Chains A and B, each alone.
Chain A
Amino acid sequence: AQSVTQPDIHITVSEGASLELRCNYSYGATPYLFWYVQSPGQGLQLLLKYFSGDTLVQGIKGFEAEFKRSQSSFNLRKPSVHWSDAAEYFCAVVAYSGGGADGLTFGKGTHLIIQP
């Protein structure tokens, strides 16, 4: 079965500094990978997704992620964070069974804190 690991429960970054959030996945075939952000009291918003092709994916709000098959990773990056980036970030994978695409399997999330 597929799984997603986000090793960092909390990360604190100073405003204007760069950011990298880690995500490792376990899935036998080529994974379809996603990063979502959840702000307090709000639903999840898709930042970016990877299906195939270029392993560096650009998303919204200045985020990007790089798929590395050899490391089973899909880390999220941003060159300069803003206070409004403080939120919960989730990495997710969708897998396929005999009946087609399953639902998203999420990691436990990384809570991003921005220091002024």
Chain B
Amino acid sequence: DAGVTQSPTHLIKTRGQQVTLRCSPKSGHDTVSWYQQALGQGPQFIFQYYEEEERQRGNFPDRFSGHQFPNYSSELNVNALLLGDSALYLCASSYGTGGLETQYFGPGTRLLVL
């Protein structure tokens, strides 16, 4: 059983560009959450998708957007990249949205903005 997978593993972009990161959840999971982890910091919650809709959002600007597909996979889009967007982006999947469910994390996509 494959765990949570993310692509690409690494990405280099320049300021002002747009980026799309992808996540495939663990088999049987229907909820995907995205986190941003800056160097030396803990992950910060960006948003969560369930039933193809954004159901919760952290304190991130609307340059950050996402999508969930019918097969539960998800994309994170970031527009107008800033240097401060350089970070490890983590995807986590779970079954359900009650908050008690264990979230399983992928290995992340490391984004560098130059």
Contact = CB atoms under 8 A, between A and B. Distances in A.
A45 B62 CA distance: 29
A102 B4 CA distance: 20
Interface of B: 4, 33, 35, 40-48, 55-56, 58, 90, 92, 97-100, 102-108
Main SS of the interface on chain A? strand
B98 A101 contact: yes
A90 B37 CA distance: 12
Which of B33, B58, B105 has the most chain A CB atoms closer than 10 A to its own CB? Answer: B105
Contact-residue size bin, chain A (C-beta under 8 Å from the other chain): 20 to 34
Interface string A31-54: 010001000011111100101000
Contacts of B45: 102-105
A39 to B, nearest CB: 10
Nearest to A105: B45
A36 to B, nearest CB: 8
A99 B105 contact: no
Contacts of A83: none
A43 B102 contact: no
Contacts, number: 69
Interface in A66-108: 90, 92, 94, 96-97, 99-108
A99 B45 CA distance: 15
Nearest to A95: B99
A100 B55 contact: yes
A106 B44 CA distance: 7
A43 B107 contact: yes
A98 to B, nearest CB: 10
Contacts of A109: 40-42
A109 B47 CA distance: 21
Given A100-B56, A103-B58, A44 B99 contact: no
B98 A104 contact: no
Given A99-B56, A103-B33, A103-B48, A44 B43 contact: yes
23 contacts: A32-B99, A36-B105, A42-B107, A44-B43, A44-B90, A44-B105, A90-B43, A94-B99, A100-B56, A100-B98, A101-B97, A101-B100, A102-B45, A102-B56, A102-B99, A103-B45, A103-B48, A103-B56, A104-B103, A105-B45, A106-B43, A108-B41, A108-B42
